[in-house]
Structure 1
């Protein structure tokens, strides 16, 4: 057994790499999205995060997709559940 204590090895800390700030580069907006409780709507709202990684000219495609999905979800809420209503005889041109 040796009476010498091994020298403590020091690990060099990695040098910090400075990155240049590019104001034109895509940057997350960090907008909080509160869940609505509706899975379809929440999925559409989460899709907005895709715009965080795109240049500004790519945002419109994401926004239009989200808008279309939200509009479809709202339209579905207006649909009557159950069997369709019977056809109306009002204004069908027949006279009694």
Structure 2
């Protein structure tokens, strides 16, 4: 072993403004080009058509639209499970 200490390494210290600052701009909204097919059920088609709005929103705006469409589609599916009120019994035979 040696008792000698290694020489300290000099490091260049960058002063603010010395180096060209990199700027990052996120890409703007870009349509995915996915076409929605009509289902024939107007309420469902209206909900699905709303998905096209995300083509014009930044990514952080997508969640609100997706959640709203999901709630609407869930409501439409739930309405299919509800049974119509029973018809009154007609005893005129």
The alignment's TM-score, normalised by the length of structure 1, stands at 0.61
Two-structure CA RMSD over aligned residues (Å):
1.7
Q: Note if 1:76 corresponds to 2:71.
A: no
Larger radius of gyration between Structure 1 and Structure 2: 2
- Can you list the C-alpha shifts for 1:26-77, whole angstroms capped at 9, x where unaligned? 0111111110000000000000001110000000000000000000000000
In the alignment, the residues of structure 1 paired with residue 31 and residue 67 of structure 2 have an alpha-carbon distance, to the nearest angstrom, of: 19
The alignment's TM-score, normalised by the length of structure 2, stands at 0.63
Q: Note if 1:38 corresponds to 2:41.
A: yes
Can you give the 5+ residue segments of structure 2 that lack an aligned partner in the other structure? 1-24, 88-93
1:12: which partner in 2? none
4+ residue stretches of structure 1 with deviation over 4 A?
none
Can you give the 5+ residue segments of structure 1 that lack an aligned partner in the other structure? 1-21, 85-96
Q: Which of 54, 57, 62 is matched with 1:54 structurally?
A: 57
